[in-house]
Chains A and B, each alone.
Chain A
Amino acid sequence: MSTVESIPTAPAKTEGFSEKGGVFWYSDSGLNVRDVARSMNAVGARFITATTYELPGNGAFRLEYHWDLMGRLLGFNFPLAENTIESIYDLCEAADWIEREIHEEYRIDFTGREYEPLLLREGNVCGVNLQKEVVQ
């Protein structure tokens, strides 16, 4: 069974998911974010947000994506390679502002999309507001 097929079609079916800290986390670490977005669209889940975590030491990041499926909070974890991840904006319109904000705050690049002028700041400097180790 592919990862896409194993994502639950109803809240009662939660194979592959385990509850922790109020979130049903999907345990497969080899997920592709666009596959997940397509699956979530297919089951009618609502995109909530993505949260950035800066990993200690090496300045790398991981992203947690959250969807709501009939009151259940589903979570997917994505470690980032070279601070880059594919954009899901074309699949999930609701992800637009959070992708722009993460790009501006942490200098993470969402590939496959164009950015409008900065959401939070004028000018052209990214990654200075929330990133712990600022590289100019």
Chain B
Amino acid sequence: MSYEIPMGPYHPGLEEPYKLNMICEGETVKDARLHIGFNFRGIEHLAETRNYIQVIALMERVCGICSFIHTLTLCQAIEKLTGLNPPPRAQYIRVVLGELERLHSHVLWAGIAAKLMGFKTMFMTCFEIREKVMDVLQAISGNRVNYAMNRIGGVNRDIEDPQSILGMVEALEKEMTRTIIPIFTTSKTATSRCADIGVLTTEKARSLGVVGPVARASGVGQDLRKDAPYAAYAEMDFTVPVVPDGDVRARLLVRALEIMESCKILRQALTTMPAGEIAPPGDGSKFSFITGTATARVEAPRGEVMYSVSWKENARTPSRVHVRTPTYVNMPSVRFMVQGARLADTPLIQASVDPCYSCTDR
């Protein structure tokens, strides 16, 4: 006899509201249906009523964790419509902020995953480290969540003393190498809890078009920082971790390895940052839009974000802003991950996607 168990929209295992209706036989999940939309704010519609300054502030609020990435993608799309090219130093600062945000996101996820594994001490450790990542972000931008760093054609604030930021990043790296990385890569407590559950095969990952760490943990080696470099990523030396297993352990491992790669990128960007302007000088900050549509993509912590922006010459507001977020394409895979899983594993399986419903619902 089968029965249906709802998880959500409000559940201790969920960071944000969504609903997973699971059809079970005994303790085994046979199928599942997902319901989203509890965070729908009509942001795309609202964007059509905002000017080119206001729309940046608005899109920064699509997501509280990858807020920098959203404004970066938007600004890169608008820069194609205005013909503005950010100076090299601004491109490096964008890399620094992007990687700090990846650290922040991955460490936050690690904490939530640890909590769902029943590993509460690790949860506290991860959140302590996350606070320190936010301290670095605050030292650069003055803010801990919405950084207001991006502008069309550059960034708003300089990193005046990259060496002091480098010192903070190195201290963070040392602490993560001592705590998070060994626990999530070699500790039996974490890896045995996550091995062979929530499997997404390479074939299914390709078919569903999943992105980011979810794809890379299923053997799909895609990363826009390598495949279609933006900002100063073409000048960075780093590797893209790919694990073929497709289970929750693989997602854990990929994110742990990405933390180390982010530290490597941060070291390079902070030591080789070129001198110069951070935005077009003087009258270069004045620009006009050409009529048309432009698209930009960025590798966010959870995977590819894409913005399509349409603007008409002399218009005060965009005629269309479309946002395609990584969770939007990753979430349908949860249905296939939980099929055949034990009911008790489902909170951890759905969390292994690192879902963001603010992004998904917009």
Chain B residues whose CB sits within 8 angstroms of the CB of A53 once the complex forms: 310, 319-320
Inter-chain contact B306/A49, CB cutoff 8 Å: yes
Report the count of interface residues on B (CB-CB < 8 A): 38
- Bound-state Cα–Cα, A52 to B44, Å: 11
The residue in chain B whose Cβ has the minimal distance to the Cβ of A71 is: B227
Does B268 lie at the interface of the complex (its beta carbon under 8 Å from any beta carbon of A)?
A: no
**Mask for A46-75, Cβ within 8 A of B = 1, else 0?**
111101111000000000101010111101
Inter-chain contact A96/B332, CB cutoff 8 Å: yes
- Bound-state Cα–Cα, A47 to B331, Å: 15
* Complex partner residue of A49 from B37, B208, B324, CB under 8 angstroms: B324
Give chain B interface residues in 70-104, CB to chain A under 8 Å: 77, 80-81
Chain A, interface size category, equals: 20 to 34
Give chain B interface residues in 301-332, CB to chain A under 8 Å: 304, 306, 308, 310, 319-320, 322, 324, 328-329, 331-332
Chain A residues whose CB sits within 8 angstroms of the CB of B159 once the complex forms: none
**Mask for A66-105, Cβ within 8 A of B = 1, else 0?**
1010111101000000000000000011101110000000
**Mask for A18-31, Cβ within 8 A of B = 1, else 0?**
00111100000000
Chain B residues whose CB sits within 8 angstroms of the CB of A64 once the complex forms: 293, 308
Chain A residues whose CB sits within 8 angstroms of the CB of B222 once the complex forms: 46, 68
Does B282 lie at the interface of the complex (its beta carbon under 8 Å from any beta carbon of A)?
A: no
Looking at chain B's contact residues, is the secondary structure mostly helix, strand, loop, or mixed? mixed
- Bound-state Cα–Cα, A116 to B332, Å: 13
Give chain A interface residues in 1-53, CB to chain B under 8 Å: 20-23, 46-49, 51-53
Does B23 lie at the interface of the complex (its beta carbon under 8 Å from any beta carbon of A)?
A: no
Known: A66-B306, A121-B37. A130 touches B45 (CB 8 A): yes
- Bound-state Cα–Cα, A121 to B227, Å: 36
Inter-chain contact A48/B306, CB cutoff 8 Å: yes
Chain B residues whose CB sits within 8 angstroms of the CB of A75 once the complex forms: 295
Chain A residues whose CB sits within 8 angstroms of the CB of B297 once the complex forms: 22, 73
Does B273 lie at the interface of the complex (its beta carbon under 8 Å from any beta carbon of A)?
A: no
Chain A residues whose CB sits within 8 angstroms of the CB of B35 once the complex forms: 117, 119
Inter-chain contact A22/B207, CB cutoff 8 Å: no
Chain B residues whose CB sits within 8 angstroms of the CB of A93 once the complex forms: 207-209
Inter-chain contact B361/A21, CB cutoff 8 Å: no
The residue in chain A whose Cβ has the minimal distance to the Cβ of B77 is: A22
Inter-chain contact A120/B361, CB cutoff 8 Å: yes
- Bound-state Cα–Cα, A122 to B258, Å: 38
- Bound-state Cα–Cα, A24 to B128, Å: 45
Inter-chain contact B37/A21, CB cutoff 8 Å: no
- Bound-state Cα–Cα, A38 to B322, Å: 25
Shortest distance from the beta carbon of A88 to any chain B beta carbon, whole Å: 12
Known: A21-B294, A120-B40, A129-B40. A51 touches B207 (CB 8 A): no
Q: Which residues of B contact A (CB under 8 A)?
A: 33, 35-37, 40, 42, 44-45, 77, 80-81, 206-209, 222, 224, 227-228, 292-297, 304, 306, 308, 310, 319-320, 322, 324, 328-329, 331-332, 361
Sorted nearest first, the 7 A-B pairs with minimum C-beta distance are: A94-B209, A71-B227, A21-B294, A120-B37, A49-B324, A71-B228, A51-B322
